[in-house]
Structure 1
Amino acid sequence: MSLMSKGKLYLHTVSHLKPSQVAYRLWRRLGGATPLCRGHRVKGDPSCADIGRIPLLQELDFDAVFLRRFSPDDIVRGRIELLNCDTSIDWEKPWLCEEMSALWEFNLHYCEFILPLAKAACNAGGEKYVESGKDIISSWISVHPRSAGGVPWDPYVISMRVVNWLAFYGEAHDTIDEDELFLRKFNDSLYEQYGHLSIHLEKDILANHYLENLKAMILLAAYFDDVETLHLAVARFVEQVDEQILSDGMHFELSPMYQKIMLECLMRVMDVVRTCDSGAHAKLHRSLKSMVDCLYSLERGIERTPLFNDSGDNVSKGTTSLLRCAERHFGIEPSFVAELSEGGYCIFERSVGNAQVKAVIDVGAPGPAYALGHAHCDMLSFELFYNGRPWVVNCGTFAYQDPSRLRYKNTDAHNAPRFGDCEQSECWASFRMARMARMAGWSRMENGLEATMVDYRGRSITRRIEFLPEGVLVRDSSSEKCVPLVSTVHMAEPFAFADGVDSVESCYAPEFGAARTCRQHQVRGVGLVEYFLPVPEECFEQKEFYEFD
Structure 2
Amino acid sequence: MSSLTQVGWYWNRLRCMSVSEIVERAGATAGRAMVRRRLPEPVAAPRLDRVGVSWLPVTVPALRGVALQRADEVLSGQWRIFSRLMGLGFPPEWNRNPDKAVLLPLTDGKRMSFRATAVVGDIKYLRELNRHRELVVLAQAWQLTGRERYLDGIATLLESWFAECPHPCGPNWSSALEAGVRLINWAIVWQLIGGMQSPLFERPVGKVLRTDWLGSIWQHAEFICGFRSSDSATSHPLIGELAGLFVAGATWPQWREAQRWRRVGRDGLEREVLRQTAADGVHKEQATGYQQFVWDFLLFAGLAARGTGKPFSETYWRRMEAMLEYVAGIMDSGGHVPLFGDSDDSVVSGLSIGAGACLFQSQLATGAMLFGNPSLARKAGVLDPRTVWLLGADVCTGFDRLLLQRAPATRRTDFPEGGVFVLGSNLDSPDELRVVADAGPLGLGGVAAHAHADALSFTLSVAGRQFLIDPGTGTYHGPGKWRHGFRGSAMHNTLVLGGEDQAVSGGRFMWLRRFRTSVLEREDGPDSDRLVAEHDGYRRLPGKPVHRRSWLLDKRKGCLRVKDQVFAGTSQNVTLYWHFSEDCNVTCTPEGLSVSSGPICLDMVLPEGGAVSVLHGSEVPLAGWVSRGYDLVEPSTTVVWRGSVMPGEALETVFRRL
Q: Same fold (TM over 0.5)?
A: yes
Aligned to 1:19: 19
CA shift at 1:295, angstroms? 1.9
Alpha carbons of structure 1 residues 48 and 406: separation in structure 2 relative to 1, 3 Å: farther
Q: How does 1:52-451 map to 2 (within 5 A)?
A: 52-56=52-56, 71-90=70-89, 91=91, 93-97=93-97, 98-99=99-100, 100-173=121-194, 174-178=198-202, 179-203=206-230, 205-225=233-253, 226-274=258-306, 276=308, 278=310, 280-311=312-343, 315=347, 318-333=359-374, 334=376, 336-351=411-426, 355-403=431-479, 404-446=482-524, 447-451=529-533
Q: Is the 8 A contact 1:437 1:453 kept in 2?
A: yes
* CA offsets 1:126-181 (integer angstroms, 9 cap, x no match): 22123212211221111001131424441111011110111122122244353333
Aligned to 1:502: 613
The number of aligned residues is 528
Q: Comparing 446-455 with 150-159, which one deviates more in the overlay?
A: 150-159
* Counterpart amino acid of residue 319 in structure 1: F
Aligned to 1:32: 32
Alpha carbons of structure 1 residues 109 and 483: separation in structure 2 relative to 1, 3 Å: same
* Counterpart amino acid of residue 156 in structure 2: D
Q: In the alignment, which of 454, 468, 484 is matched to residue 573 of structure 2?
A: 484
* Counterpart amino acid of residue 561 in structure 2: L
Measured in 1, the distance between the counterparts of 2:430 and 2:243 equals: 46
Question: Alpha carbon RMSD of aligned pairs, Å?
Answer: 3.3
Q: Is the 8 A contact 1:311 1:397 kept in 2?
A: yes
Measured in 1, the distance between the counterparts of 2:93 and 2:531 equals: 57
* Counterpart amino acid of residue 95 in structure 1: N
Aligned to 2:561: 473
Alpha carbons of structure 1 residues 112 and 58: separation in structure 2 relative to 1, 3 Å: farther
What residue ranges of structure 2 are gaps of 5+ in the alignment? 36-40, 101-120, 353-358, 377-409, 587-593, 595-603, 617-623
CA shift at 1:19, angstroms? 3.2
Structure 2 counterpart SS, 1:472 = strand
CA shift at 1:262, angstroms? 1.3
CA shift at 1:534, angstroms? 3.1
* CA offsets 1:258-291 (integer angstroms, 9 cap, x no match): 1111111111111222255757432312212212
Measured in 2, the distance between the counterparts of 1:313 and 1:92 equals: 21
Structure 2 counterpart SS, 1:158 = helix
Q: Comparing 349-358 with 94-103, which one deviates more in the overlay?
A: 349-358
Measured in 2, the distance between the counterparts of 1:114 and 1:498 equals: 53
* CA offsets 1:412-454 (integer angstroms, 9 cap, x no match): 1111112124110123422111111110334222323111011
Q: Is the 8 A contact 1:252 1:367 kept in 2?
A: yes
Alpha carbons of structure 1 residues 19 and 510: separation in structure 2 relative to 1, 3 Å: same
Alpha carbons of structure 1 residues 56 and 356: separation in structure 2 relative to 1, 3 Å: same
Alpha carbons of structure 1 residues 149 and 244: separation in structure 2 relative to 1, 3 Å: same
Q: Comparing 432-441 with 299-308, which one deviates more in the overlay?
A: 299-308
CA shift at 1:371, angstroms? 5.0
CA shift at 1:110, angstroms? 1.0
Q: Is the 8 A contact 1:379 1:416 kept in 2?
A: yes
Structure 1 counterpart SS, 2:476 = coil
Q: Is the 8 A contact 1:49 1:224 kept in 2?
A: no
* CA offsets 1:347-396 (integer angstroms, 9 cap, x no match): 12313996211111101001124251101011111111122221111110
* Counterpart amino acid of residue 394 in structure 1: D
* CA offsets 1:71-101 (integer angstroms, 9 cap, x no match): 3222112221211234333536443125152
Q: Is the 8 A contact 2:293 2:346 kept in 1?
A: no
Measured in 1, the distance between the counterparts of 2:574 and 2:62 equals: 48
Alpha carbons of structure 1 residues 485 and 273: separation in structure 2 relative to 1, 3 Å: same
Q: Is the 8 A contact 2:424 2:553 kept in 1?
A: no
Q: Comparing 68-77 with 133-142, which one deviates more in the overlay?
A: 68-77
Alpha carbons of structure 1 residues 70 and 25: separation in structure 2 relative to 1, 3 Å: farther
Q: Is the 8 A contact 2:131 2:178 kept in 1?
A: yes
Alpha carbons of structure 1 residues 70 and 347: separation in structure 2 relative to 1, 3 Å: farther
Measured in 1, the distance between the counterparts of 2:82 and 2:493 equals: 25
CA shift at 1:302, angstroms? 3.3
Q: Percent identity?
A: 18
Aligned to 1:529: 651
Aligned to 2:388: none
Q: Comparing 459-468 with 344-353, which one deviates more in the overlay?
A: 344-353
Q: Is the 8 A contact 2:68 2:137 kept in 1?
A: no
* Counterpart amino acid of residue 410 in structure 1: G
Structure 1 counterpart SS, 2:426 = strand
Structure 1 counterpart SS, 2:17 = coil
Q: Is the 8 A contact 1:366 1:376 kept in 2?
A: yes
Q: Is the 8 A contact 2:234 2:445 kept in 1?
A: no
Structure 1 counterpart SS, 2:640 = strand
Measured in 1, the distance between the counterparts of 2:130 and 2:139 equals: 17
Measured in 2, the distance between the counterparts of 1:279 and 1:127 equals: 36
Alpha carbons of structure 1 residues 92 and 266: separation in structure 2 relative to 1, 3 Å: closer
* Counterpart amino acid of residue 15 in structure 2: S
Measured in 1, the distance between the counterparts of 2:248 and 2:82 equals: 28
Q: Comparing 290-299 with 9-18, which one deviates more in the overlay?
A: 9-18
Alpha carbons of structure 1 residues 421 and 319: separation in structure 2 relative to 1, 3 Å: closer
Aligned to 2:633: 515
* Counterpart amino acid of residue 375 in structure 1: A
Alpha carbons of structure 1 residues 337 and 234: separation in structure 2 relative to 1, 3 Å: same
* Counterpart amino acid of residue 460 in structure 1: V
Alpha carbons of structure 1 residues 231 and 465: separation in structure 2 relative to 1, 3 Å: same
Measured in 2, the distance between the counterparts of 1:229 and 1:3 equals: 38
Measured in 2, the distance between the counterparts of 1:269 and 1:186 equals: 21
Q: Is the 8 A contact 1:273 1:281 kept in 2?
A: no
Alpha carbons of structure 1 residues 276 and 470: separation in structure 2 relative to 1, 3 Å: closer
Aligned to 1:544: none
Measured in 1, the distance between the counterparts of 2:417 and 2:42 equals: 37
* CA offsets 1:293-348 (integer angstroms, 9 cap, x no match): 12222225233331110137674751222122223345444362110110111012
Structure 2 counterpart SS, 1:132 = helix
TM-score of the pair, normalised by structure 2? 0.73
Measured in 2, the distance between the counterparts of 1:381 and 1:218 equals: 38
* Counterpart amino acid of residue 19 in structure 1: V
Measured in 1, the distance between the counterparts of 2:146 and 2:188 equals: 18
* CA offsets 1:85-121 (integer angstroms, 9 cap, x no match): 3433353644312515211112111111222222333
TM-score of the pair, normalised by structure 1? 0.87
